[in-house]
Amino acid sequence: MIKQAHSKKLLHKVLTFSTWFLLTLFVLPSTGLASGAPVRAFIALVPRVTVDDDPVLLGDIAHIRGQDTKLVDELKKLVVGRAPLPGKTRQIEAAYVVLKLKQNHIPVDQVALNETAPTTVVRNSTLVRRDQVRSVIRDALVREDLFQGRRGVVRDIRVADDLVVPPGELSYRVVFAEIPIRSNKIPVSVAVFVNGKQYRKIWATLLADILQEVVVLKHTMRRYQRITTEDIQWVDMNLVDIPKNAITSDQDILGKRITKSLLSGTVLRSDIVELPPLVKRGDIVTVKAVSGALQVTTLGKAKGNGRHGERIKIINIDTQKELYGYVVDAKTVKVLF
């Protein structure tokens, strides 16, 4: 019974619309929206339409007929409004169509328009799912050296939500942000293109364990011990756990000494290693006093420790005069006059 009633209702709508259209074609050819004017075009709004693109044209939402082909073509191309967002709907009423006709200087007194219920406009859409976005990001990871030579293990790709886009050919552009310092969260933007035109961006977060080689001690060492290749080893550590000033090159460690006692497995940092002094307090050194082209050499006694290039105090052994000079090597201090 319900099915039969629905069929009758649908048939009634079809007959009503067909009757009106026939009336506009054959019974009312001489009257437009303003009485007394000859009708040059007939507009029959349809109850529901589906569109792909923006904007909505009158030809998308109505059947337009008439002997004036130029006017009919103009009416079909008339923009009546913006299309709804993909997957959404909007309604366009007959009164709104009349307003658009007037705004575009179309003689409404020469057009017949049916007074039906509003036309429902549905925008076609395609759903870009989060899984698709994750797959796009994974493909980009294969093409790009995101981890800059370091080993990286991707644990998760978090995408906020699905995205509804207009129908068409989809393409993507993935941009990875610079890896934050001591963080395993990398922002990612995915620009979604429809038929070659960017529609919107999707933001995602890449969670990754990024591994970096650092220098650690093989065994416990005492303060001021010199570091040799036998004392250190390279270990992969997660970037998040690496100290800010960790040493990542043996060029920055060999020949130096530690400034305090350290346990085995300690990550060596730049603030706990130093170059040992070339000259120590009490050392007898050669003092080269230089003034232009003149150079005088004598012996002196160091009053403090000094590394290469550092300024230290010395005592001239012959005169007992205090001087200040710069360490050249383990046996030489240069004094400028």
Q: Going residue by residue through the chain, which has 337 residues, state the pLDDT in tens, using 9 for 90 and above.
A: 434 444 444 444 444 444 444 444 443 333 345 455 688 999 999 999 999 888 999 999 999 999 899 999 999 999 999 999 999 999 999 999 999 999 999 988 889 988 778 999 999 999 999 999 999 999 998 888 777 777 788 889 999 889 999 999 999 999 998 877 777 888 999 999 999 999 999 999 999 888 888 899 999 999 989 898 899 999 888 888 888 888 887 777 888 899 999 999 999 998 899 888 889 999 999 999 888 888 889 999 999 999 888 999 999 998 999 999 999 998 999 998 7
Question: Looking at 124, 143, 158, which one is the last position of a domain?
Answer: 124
* Dist CA 269 CA 329 (whole Å): 26
CATH code of residue 87: 2.60.480.10
158 with 255, same domain: the answer is no
Length of the chain: 337
Going by the DSSP 8-state scheme, the letter that residue 25 receives in this structure is I
Bridge partners, residue 327, by sequence: 333
Q: Which domain holds residue 313?
A: 284-336
Distance CA 200, CA 192 (A): 6
**One domain, residues 16 and 114:** yes
How many domains are there within the chain?
4
- State whether 14 and 57 are in the same domain: yes
Q: SS3 breakdown of the chain: % helix, strand, coil, rounded to 5?
A: 20, 40, 35
Q: Where residue 230 sits, what CATH number does that domain have?
A: 3.90.1210.10
In a domain, 279, yes or no: no
Same domain, 17 and 120: yes
Which residues share a beta bridge with 90?
A: 121
DSSP letter for each residue of 74-127: HHHT-EEEPPPPTT-EEEE-HHHHHHHHHHTT--GGGEEE---SPEEEEE--EE
Which residue, 153, 179, 207, sits at the end of a domain? 207
Quickly tell me which residue has 């230089």 as its tokens: 290
